[in-house]
């Protein structure tokens, strides 16, 4: 079970990065 949750979190991390606005918007 814990291993599954760890993999899910790893998949969520990149997804959040893609959803986040481009660096230019932050600047």
Q: In the chain, how long is the greatest CA-to-CA distance?
A: 40
pLDDT for 1: 45
Task: Quote the pTM value.
Answer: 0.18
Cα atoms in the Cβ-side hemisphere of radius 13 Å centred on 2? 0
pLDDT for 13: 56
Give the model confidence (pLDDT) of 6-25 as tens digits: 555 555 555 555 656 666 65
């Amino acid at each position: 079970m814990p291993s599954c949750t760890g993999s899910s979190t790893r998949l969520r991390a990149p997804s959040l990065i893609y959803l986040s606005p481009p660096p230019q918007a932050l600047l």
